[in-house]
Amino acid sequence: MIKHNLDELVDSSRNILLLQGAIGNFFAELSSFLTAKQKQVFKINFNGGDDFFYPVNDHTYQFQDHFCFLSSYLKNIVKEKNIDTFICFGDNRPCHKIAKAVAKQLNIAFWVFEEGYFRPNFVTLEKQGVNAYSPIPKNADFFWNRPSKIPETSQEITKSFIKVVIKAVQYYYYLNKSSTKYKYNVHHRETSLNHYIRIWFKSGIKRFYHRFSEYWLTKKIIRGDLNDFFIVPLQVYNDSQIVVHSDFQDVQHSLNYVLDSFSQFAPKNLNLIIKHHPMDRGFTNYSKVIKEYENRYPDLKNRVFYIYDIPLPIILRQAKAMVTVNSTSGLSAMVHNVPVKVLGKANYDFEGLTYQGDLKDFWSEPNQVDEELFTLYRNYHLNKTHLNGCFYGGVILKL
Protein backbone atom coordinates (compact mmCIF):
# COMPACT_ATOMS: atom_id res chain seq x y z
CA MET A 1 0.00 0.00 0.00
CA ILE A 2 1.27 3.48 -0.90
CA LYS A 3 0.96 6.00 1.92
CA HIS A 4 0.30 9.51 0.66
CA ASN A 5 2.74 12.21 1.69
CA LEU A 6 -0.03 14.29 3.25
CA ASP A 7 -0.92 11.36 5.50
CA GLU A 8 2.75 10.97 6.41
CA LEU A 9 3.08 14.68 7.16
CA VAL A 10 0.03 14.65 9.46
CA ASP A 11 1.02 11.42 11.22
CA SER A 12 4.62 12.48 11.84
CA SER A 13 4.18 16.11 12.94
CA ARG A 14 2.99 17.89 16.06
CA ASN A 15 4.40 21.42 15.95
CA ILE A 16 4.64 22.88 12.46
CA LEU A 17 6.28 26.03 11.13
CA LEU A 18 4.99 27.33 7.79
CA LEU A 19 7.47 29.37 5.77
CA GLN A 20 6.61 31.25 2.56
CA GLY A 21 3.70 29.93 0.53
CA ALA A 22 2.35 30.44 -2.96
CA ILE A 23 0.70 33.79 -3.64
CA GLY A 24 -2.84 33.51 -2.30
CA ASN A 25 -4.71 31.86 0.55
CA PHE A 26 -3.40 28.30 0.32
CA PHE A 27 -1.14 28.39 3.38
CA ALA A 28 -3.95 29.92 5.46
CA GLU A 29 -6.21 27.07 4.33
CA LEU A 30 -3.46 24.54 5.03
CA SER A 31 -3.06 25.97 8.53
CA SER A 32 -6.78 25.52 9.22
CA PHE A 33 -6.62 21.94 7.94
CA LEU A 34 -3.63 21.07 10.13
CA THR A 35 -5.09 22.81 13.17
CA ALA A 36 -8.23 20.69 12.77
CA LYS A 37 -5.90 17.67 12.93
CA GLN A 38 -4.77 18.83 16.40
CA LYS A 39 -1.47 20.30 15.19
CA GLN A 40 0.16 23.43 16.55
CA VAL A 41 0.76 25.61 13.50
CA PHE A 42 3.04 28.65 13.38
CA LYS A 43 3.94 30.88 10.43
CA ILE A 44 6.74 33.22 9.41
CA ASN A 45 5.85 36.14 7.16
CA PHE A 46 8.65 37.80 5.21
CA ASN A 47 6.84 40.81 3.71
CA GLY A 48 3.54 42.67 3.58
CA GLY A 49 2.21 40.41 0.84
CA ASP A 50 2.62 37.45 3.18
CA ASP A 51 0.84 39.43 5.92
CA PHE A 52 -2.10 40.15 3.61
CA PHE A 53 -2.79 36.52 2.75
CA TYR A 54 -1.81 35.12 6.15
CA PRO A 55 -2.92 37.74 8.71
CA VAL A 56 -0.81 38.17 11.83
CA ASN A 57 -1.98 36.42 15.00
CA ASP A 58 -0.43 34.92 18.14
CA HIS A 59 1.13 32.11 16.07
CA THR A 60 2.60 34.37 13.39
CA TYR A 61 6.14 35.71 13.25
CA GLN A 62 7.26 38.64 11.10
CA PHE A 63 10.88 38.36 10.04
CA GLN A 64 12.11 41.91 9.47
CA ASP A 65 15.86 41.44 9.78
CA HIS A 66 18.65 40.72 7.31
CA PHE A 67 18.73 37.18 5.91
CA CYS A 68 22.11 36.58 7.52
CA PHE A 69 20.20 36.35 10.82
CA LEU A 70 17.48 34.01 9.54
CA SER A 71 19.25 30.79 10.51
CA SER A 72 19.56 31.77 14.18
CA TYR A 73 16.01 33.19 14.09
CA LEU A 74 14.65 29.85 12.92
CA LYS A 75 16.66 27.93 15.50
CA ASN A 76 15.21 30.09 18.27
CA ILE A 77 11.65 29.41 17.09
CA VAL A 78 12.37 25.69 16.86
CA LYS A 79 13.65 25.68 20.43
CA GLU A 80 10.90 27.92 21.80
CA LYS A 81 7.97 26.10 20.15
CA ASN A 82 9.49 22.61 19.90
CA ILE A 83 9.05 22.67 16.12
CA ASP A 84 9.43 19.29 14.40
CA THR A 85 8.30 20.18 10.87
CA PHE A 86 8.94 22.94 8.31
CA ILE A 87 6.60 23.41 5.32
CA CYS A 88 7.29 25.74 2.39
CA PHE A 89 6.40 26.39 -1.25
CA GLY A 90 9.38 25.90 -3.55
CA ASP A 91 12.78 24.86 -2.23
CA ASN A 92 14.99 27.31 -4.13
CA ARG A 93 13.87 30.61 -2.61
CA PRO A 94 16.63 32.28 -0.54
CA CYS A 95 14.70 31.93 2.72
CA HIS A 96 13.91 28.28 2.04
CA LYS A 97 17.49 27.35 1.23
CA ILE A 98 18.45 28.66 4.67
CA ALA A 99 15.51 26.85 6.29
CA LYS A 100 16.43 23.60 4.57
CA ALA A 101 19.97 23.80 5.97
CA VAL A 102 18.57 24.44 9.47
CA ALA A 103 16.16 21.52 9.12
CA LYS A 104 18.98 19.20 8.16
CA GLN A 105 21.16 20.41 11.02
CA LEU A 106 18.40 20.01 13.63
CA ASN A 107 16.89 16.83 12.14
CA ILE A 108 13.57 18.53 11.39
CA ALA A 109 11.22 17.29 8.68
CA PHE A 110 11.30 19.57 5.62
CA TRP A 111 8.21 19.40 3.40
CA VAL A 112 7.89 21.24 0.10
CA PHE A 113 4.83 22.12 -1.97
CA GLU A 114 5.26 22.80 -5.67
CA GLU A 115 3.16 23.08 -8.81
CA GLY A 116 2.09 19.59 -9.88
CA TYR A 117 4.50 17.47 -11.86
CA PHE A 118 1.37 16.31 -13.66
CA ARG A 119 -0.88 19.17 -14.74
CA PRO A 120 -3.49 20.49 -14.71
CA ASN A 121 -5.50 19.78 -11.54
CA PHE A 122 -2.60 18.75 -9.29
CA VAL A 123 -0.07 20.19 -6.87
CA THR A 124 2.97 18.35 -5.51
CA LEU A 125 4.03 17.65 -1.91
CA GLU A 126 7.40 16.02 -1.26
CA LYS A 127 9.68 15.53 1.73
CA GLN A 128 13.25 16.94 1.55
CA GLY A 129 12.79 18.58 -1.84
CA VAL A 130 11.00 18.71 -5.18
CA ASN A 131 11.94 18.27 -8.84
CA ALA A 132 15.57 17.09 -9.08
CA TYR A 133 15.83 17.29 -5.26
CA SER A 134 13.08 14.68 -4.91
CA PRO A 135 14.17 11.78 -2.66
CA ILE A 136 12.32 9.25 -4.85
CA PRO A 137 14.88 7.06 -6.68
CA LYS A 138 15.50 7.76 -10.36
CA ASN A 139 15.58 4.20 -11.62
CA ALA A 140 13.10 1.84 -13.21
CA ASP A 141 13.55 -0.96 -10.66
CA PHE A 142 12.08 1.18 -7.89
CA PHE A 143 8.81 1.60 -9.80
CA TRP A 144 8.67 -1.97 -11.09
CA ASN A 145 8.80 -3.13 -7.46
CA ARG A 146 6.13 -0.76 -6.11
CA PRO A 147 2.48 -1.80 -5.80
CA SER A 148 0.44 -0.30 -8.62
CA LYS A 149 -2.82 1.38 -7.76
CA ILE A 150 -5.07 3.26 -10.14
CA PRO A 151 -5.38 6.84 -8.80
CA GLU A 152 -8.73 8.29 -7.80
CA THR A 153 -10.46 10.38 -10.44
CA SER A 154 -9.42 14.00 -10.01
CA GLN A 155 -11.75 16.98 -10.03
CA GLU A 156 -11.36 19.70 -12.64
CA ILE A 157 -9.96 22.78 -10.87
CA THR A 158 -10.37 26.06 -12.73
CA LYS A 159 -7.35 28.36 -12.78
CA SER A 160 -8.55 31.79 -13.83
CA PHE A 161 -5.92 34.11 -15.31
CA ILE A 162 -7.86 37.08 -13.92
CA LYS A 163 -7.88 35.59 -10.40
CA VAL A 164 -4.15 34.95 -10.59
CA VAL A 165 -3.53 38.56 -11.67
CA ILE A 166 -5.76 39.96 -8.91
CA LYS A 167 -3.99 37.94 -6.22
CA ALA A 168 -0.60 38.93 -7.60
CA VAL A 169 -1.58 42.63 -7.65
CA GLN A 170 -2.73 42.37 -4.03
CA TYR A 171 0.46 40.59 -3.00
CA TYR A 172 2.88 43.01 -4.62
CA TYR A 173 0.86 46.06 -3.55
CA TYR A 174 1.12 45.12 0.12
CA LEU A 175 4.70 43.95 -0.29
CA ASN A 176 5.70 47.39 -1.55
CA LYS A 177 3.48 49.18 0.96
CA SER A 178 5.39 47.48 3.79
CA SER A 179 8.86 48.06 2.35
CA THR A 180 9.86 50.29 5.28
CA LYS A 181 8.77 47.70 7.82
CA TYR A 182 10.46 44.85 5.93
CA LYS A 183 13.40 46.92 4.71
CA TYR A 184 15.75 43.90 4.47
CA ASN A 185 13.32 41.73 2.55
CA VAL A 186 15.00 39.69 -0.19
CA HIS A 187 12.46 38.41 -2.70
CA HIS A 188 13.20 35.87 -5.41
CA ARG A 189 11.46 37.96 -8.07
CA GLU A 190 11.01 41.53 -9.26
CA THR A 191 8.72 43.27 -6.74
CA SER A 192 7.62 46.44 -8.57
CA LEU A 193 3.85 46.42 -9.05
CA ASN A 194 4.11 48.84 -12.00
CA HIS A 195 6.53 46.41 -13.64
CA TYR A 196 4.01 43.58 -13.43
CA ILE A 197 1.07 45.70 -14.58
CA ARG A 198 3.01 46.60 -17.75
CA ILE A 199 3.96 42.96 -18.27
CA TRP A 200 0.41 41.64 -17.79
CA PHE A 201 -0.99 44.30 -20.12
CA LYS A 202 1.55 43.36 -22.78
CA SER A 203 0.82 39.67 -22.18
CA GLY A 204 -2.92 40.19 -22.65
CA ILE A 205 -2.38 41.96 -25.98
CA LYS A 206 -0.01 39.23 -27.18
CA ARG A 207 -2.44 36.52 -26.14
CA PHE A 208 -5.20 38.15 -28.18
CA TYR A 209 -2.87 38.69 -31.16
CA HIS A 210 -1.56 35.13 -31.26
CA ARG A 211 -5.07 33.71 -31.20
CA PHE A 212 -5.29 34.94 -34.79
CA SER A 213 -1.66 34.86 -35.96
CA GLU A 214 -1.24 31.18 -35.00
CA TYR A 215 -4.63 30.04 -36.30
CA TRP A 216 -3.45 28.50 -39.59
CA LEU A 217 -0.39 26.85 -38.08
CA THR A 218 -2.65 25.30 -35.45
CA LYS A 219 -4.87 23.86 -38.17
CA LYS A 220 -1.83 22.59 -40.05
CA ILE A 221 -0.56 20.77 -36.96
CA ILE A 222 -3.97 19.26 -36.24
CA ARG A 223 -4.22 17.95 -39.81
CA GLY A 224 -0.70 16.49 -39.61
CA ASP A 225 0.50 18.64 -42.51
CA LEU A 226 3.67 19.94 -40.85
CA ASN A 227 5.66 16.76 -41.57
CA ASP A 228 7.92 15.40 -38.82
CA PHE A 229 8.72 17.86 -36.05
CA PHE A 230 10.25 18.01 -32.57
CA ILE A 231 8.87 20.27 -29.85
CA VAL A 232 11.05 22.39 -27.53
CA PRO A 233 9.02 23.87 -24.64
CA LEU A 234 10.84 26.87 -23.20
CA GLN A 235 10.76 27.50 -19.47
CA VAL A 236 10.18 30.85 -17.75
CA TYR A 237 13.15 33.19 -17.90
CA ASN A 238 13.76 33.10 -14.13
CA ASP A 239 12.99 29.42 -13.57
CA SER A 240 15.20 28.11 -10.77
CA GLN A 241 15.04 24.73 -12.51
CA ILE A 242 17.37 26.16 -15.18
CA VAL A 243 19.88 27.76 -12.82
CA VAL A 244 19.90 25.14 -10.06
CA HIS A 245 19.19 21.90 -11.91
CA SER A 246 21.11 22.35 -15.17
CA ASP A 247 24.44 23.58 -16.51
CA PHE A 248 22.77 26.39 -18.47
CA GLN A 249 23.00 30.01 -17.37
CA ASP A 250 19.48 30.85 -18.53
CA VAL A 251 16.78 29.92 -21.04
CA GLN A 252 18.54 31.61 -23.97
CA HIS A 253 21.70 29.61 -23.25
CA SER A 254 19.68 26.39 -23.48
CA LEU A 255 17.95 27.59 -26.67
CA ASN A 256 21.32 28.33 -28.28
CA TYR A 257 22.48 24.83 -27.38
CA VAL A 258 19.41 23.22 -28.95
CA LEU A 259 19.58 25.32 -32.13
CA ASP A 260 23.31 24.64 -32.52
CA SER A 261 22.66 20.92 -32.33
CA PHE A 262 19.56 21.01 -34.54
CA SER A 263 21.29 23.00 -37.27
CA GLN A 264 24.25 20.60 -37.37
CA PHE A 265 22.81 17.17 -36.72
CA ALA A 266 19.07 17.08 -37.42
CA PRO A 267 17.80 15.51 -40.67
CA LYS A 268 17.05 18.19 -43.25
CA ASN A 269 13.39 17.16 -43.47
CA LEU A 270 12.84 17.59 -39.72
CA ASN A 271 11.04 20.67 -38.39
CA LEU A 272 11.33 22.27 -34.96
CA ILE A 273 8.59 23.96 -32.94
CA ILE A 274 9.84 26.23 -30.16
CA LYS A 275 7.04 26.99 -27.71
CA HIS A 276 7.20 30.06 -25.50
CA HIS A 277 6.16 29.47 -21.89
CA PRO A 278 2.62 30.84 -21.34
CA MET A 279 3.59 32.54 -18.04
CA ASP A 280 6.55 34.21 -19.76
CA ARG A 281 4.54 35.82 -22.54
CA GLY A 282 5.06 39.44 -21.50
CA PHE A 283 8.55 39.06 -20.07
CA THR A 284 10.75 37.78 -22.88
CA ASN A 285 10.91 37.24 -26.62
CA TYR A 286 13.40 34.98 -28.40
CA SER A 287 12.50 35.92 -31.99
CA LYS A 288 15.83 37.68 -32.59
CA VAL A 289 17.79 34.68 -31.36
CA ILE A 290 15.93 32.36 -33.72
CA LYS A 291 16.25 34.83 -36.61
CA GLU A 292 20.02 34.98 -36.11
CA TYR A 293 20.23 31.21 -36.47
CA GLU A 294 18.10 31.28 -39.61
CA ASN A 295 20.45 33.87 -41.11
CA ARG A 296 23.50 31.84 -40.10
CA TYR A 297 22.03 28.54 -41.32
CA PRO A 298 19.78 29.28 -44.34
CA ASP A 299 18.43 25.72 -44.44
CA LEU A 300 16.66 26.42 -41.12
CA LYS A 301 14.26 28.83 -42.82
CA ASN A 302 10.70 27.48 -42.93
CA ARG A 303 11.76 24.65 -40.59
CA VAL A 304 11.79 26.45 -37.22
CA PHE A 305 8.45 27.69 -35.84
CA TYR A 306 8.34 29.97 -32.80
CA ILE A 307 4.90 29.86 -31.17
CA TYR A 308 3.20 31.23 -28.08
CA ASP A 309 -0.33 30.02 -27.53
CA ILE A 310 -1.00 26.82 -29.43
CA PRO A 311 -2.05 24.38 -26.68
CA LEU A 312 0.64 21.83 -25.86
CA PRO A 313 -1.70 18.79 -26.15
CA ILE A 314 -2.47 19.72 -29.78
CA ILE A 315 1.26 19.76 -30.51
CA LEU A 316 2.02 16.55 -28.62
CA ARG A 317 -0.58 14.56 -30.55
CA GLN A 318 1.54 15.08 -33.68
CA ALA A 319 5.09 15.59 -32.34
CA LYS A 320 7.80 13.07 -33.11
CA ALA A 321 9.78 13.89 -29.93
CA MET A 322 10.50 16.57 -27.31
CA VAL A 323 13.71 18.24 -26.15
CA THR A 324 13.57 19.99 -22.77
CA VAL A 325 15.95 21.19 -20.08
CA ASN A 326 13.87 19.75 -17.25
CA SER A 327 10.33 21.05 -17.68
CA THR A 328 7.36 19.07 -16.41
CA SER A 329 6.23 19.29 -20.04
CA GLY A 330 8.43 16.23 -20.45
CA LEU A 331 5.89 14.28 -18.40
CA SER A 332 3.06 15.67 -20.53
CA ALA A 333 4.93 14.41 -23.59
CA MET A 334 5.18 10.91 -22.15
CA VAL A 335 1.45 10.93 -21.41
CA HIS A 336 1.15 11.14 -25.22
CA ASN A 337 3.89 8.51 -25.69
CA VAL A 338 6.24 11.13 -27.14
CA PRO A 339 9.99 10.43 -26.62
CA VAL A 340 11.86 12.96 -24.46
CA LYS A 341 15.47 14.11 -24.22
CA VAL A 342 16.33 15.93 -20.96
CA LEU A 343 19.26 18.37 -21.03
CA GLY A 344 19.37 19.17 -17.31
CA LYS A 345 18.43 17.24 -14.19
CA ALA A 346 14.88 15.95 -13.75
CA ASN A 347 13.33 13.41 -11.42
CA TYR A 348 11.88 11.56 -14.42
CA ASP A 349 15.15 11.33 -16.37
CA PHE A 350 16.17 7.67 -16.27
CA GLU A 351 16.48 4.62 -18.52
CA GLY A 352 13.12 3.42 -19.77
CA LEU A 353 11.41 6.79 -19.67
CA THR A 354 13.78 9.23 -21.38
CA TYR A 355 16.54 9.08 -23.98
CA GLN A 356 19.93 8.57 -22.34
CA GLY A 357 22.17 9.21 -25.36
CA ASP A 358 23.52 12.43 -26.89
CA LEU A 359 21.22 15.09 -28.32
CA LYS A 360 22.97 14.92 -31.70
CA ASP A 361 21.80 11.31 -32.08
CA PHE A 362 18.32 11.94 -30.67
CA TRP A 363 17.31 13.99 -33.71
CA SER A 364 17.58 10.90 -35.91
CA GLU A 365 16.83 8.04 -33.51
CA PRO A 366 14.50 9.04 -30.66
CA ASN A 367 13.76 6.25 -28.21
CA GLN A 368 10.37 4.76 -27.45
CA VAL A 369 8.80 5.47 -24.07
CA ASP A 370 8.16 2.33 -22.01
CA GLU A 371 4.43 2.88 -21.58
CA GLU A 372 4.04 0.32 -18.80
CA LEU A 373 6.90 1.82 -16.80
CA PHE A 374 5.54 5.33 -17.31
CA THR A 375 2.11 4.22 -16.08
CA LEU A 376 3.74 2.85 -12.92
CA TYR A 377 5.70 6.10 -12.49
CA ARG A 378 2.63 8.28 -12.99
CA ASN A 379 0.37 6.21 -10.75
CA TYR A 380 2.97 6.18 -7.98
CA HIS A 381 3.27 9.97 -7.99
CA LEU A 382 -0.47 10.57 -8.17
CA ASN A 383 -0.96 8.25 -5.20
CA LYS A 384 2.08 9.46 -3.23
CA THR A 385 3.11 13.03 -3.99
CA HIS A 386 0.14 14.71 -5.68
CA LEU A 387 -2.93 16.49 -4.34
CA ASN A 388 -5.92 17.35 -6.48
CA GLY A 389 -6.11 21.11 -6.92
CA CYS A 390 -4.45 24.35 -7.92
CA PHE A 391 -2.86 26.94 -5.65
CA TYR A 392 -4.92 29.66 -7.34
CA GLY A 393 -8.22 27.79 -7.57
CA GLY A 394 -8.25 25.64 -4.44
CA VAL A 395 -6.46 22.50 -3.22
CA ILE A 396 -8.47 19.55 -1.93
CA LEU A 397 -6.94 18.65 1.44
CA LYS A 398 -8.16 15.30 2.66
CA LEU A 399 -6.70 12.15 4.19
pLDDT for residue 96 is more than 90: yes
What confidence tens digit (pLDDT) does each residue in 14-30 have?
A: 999 999 999 999 999 99
Same domain, yes or no: 251 and 146: no
3-state secondary structure of 321: strand
Same domain, yes or no: 136 and 42: yes
The verdict on residue 182 lying in a domain is: no
Residue 160 belongs to what domain range?
5-167+382-395
Same domain, yes or no: 366 and 391: no
Q: What CATH number is associated with residue 255?
A: 3.40.50
What confidence tens digit (pLDDT) does each residue in 360-393 have?
A: 999 999 999 999 999 999 999 999 999 999 998 8
In the chain, the percentage of residues whose pLDDT exceeds 70 is 98
| Alpha-carbon span 238 to 356, nearest angstrom | 27
CB 307 within 8 A of CB 273: yes
pTM of the model: 0.91
The verdict on residue 197 lying in a domain is: no
Closest alpha carbon to 73 in 47, 99, 100, 96: 99
Residue 190: predicted pLDDT: 60
Number of H helices, E strands in the chain: 16, 13
What confidence tens digit (pLDDT) does each residue in 209-231 have?
A: 778 888 899 999 999 999 899 99
Q: What CATH number is associated with residue 45?
A: 3.40.50.1380
The verdict on residue 185 lying in a domain is: no
Give how many domains the chain has, as a whole number: 2
Same domain, yes or no: 293 and 155: no
Instruction: Tell me the Ramachandran region of residue 4: left when phi exceeds 0, alpha when psi lies from -120 to 50, beta otherwise.
Output: beta
The verdict on residue 180 lying in a domain is: no
What confidence tens digit (pLDDT) does each residue in 192-210 have?
A: 667 777 777 777 777 777 7
The verdict on residue 204 lying in a domain is: no
Instruction: Tell me the Ramachandran region of residue 29: left when phi exceeds 0, alpha when psi lies from -120 to 50, beta otherwise.
Output: alpha
Strands, E assignment, 201-338: 229-233, 271-275, 304-307, 321-324
Same domain, yes or no: 163 and 280: no
The verdict on residue 127 lying in a domain is: yes
In the chain, the percentage of residues whose pLDDT exceeds 90 is 77
Same domain, yes or no: 387 and 344: no
What confidence tens digit (pLDDT) does each residue in 141-168 have?
A: 999 998 777 888 788 877 777 888 889 8
Same domain, yes or no: 388 and 265: no
Same domain, yes or no: 389 and 280: no
3-state secondary structure of 122: strand
The verdict on residue 125 lying in a domain is: yes
Same domain, yes or no: 300 and 391: no
Q: DSSP letter string over 189-220?
A: S---HHHHHHHHHHHHHHHHHHHHHTHHHHHH
Q: Rounded to the nearest 10 degrees, what angle do helices 193-213 and 215-223 cross at?
A: 60
Same domain, yes or no: 74 and 10: yes
What confidence tens digit (pLDDT) does each residue in 18-61 have?
A: 999 999 999 999 999 999 999 999 999 999 999 999 989 999 99
Same domain, yes or no: 263 and 143: no
pLDDT (average), residues 254-269: 97
pLDDT (average), residues 268-291: 91
The rounded mean pLDDT for the chain is 93
Same domain, yes or no: 100 and 162: yes
Q: Rounded to the nearest 10 degrees, what angle do helices 287-296 and 251-265 cross at?
A: 30
The verdict on residue 264 lying in a domain is: yes
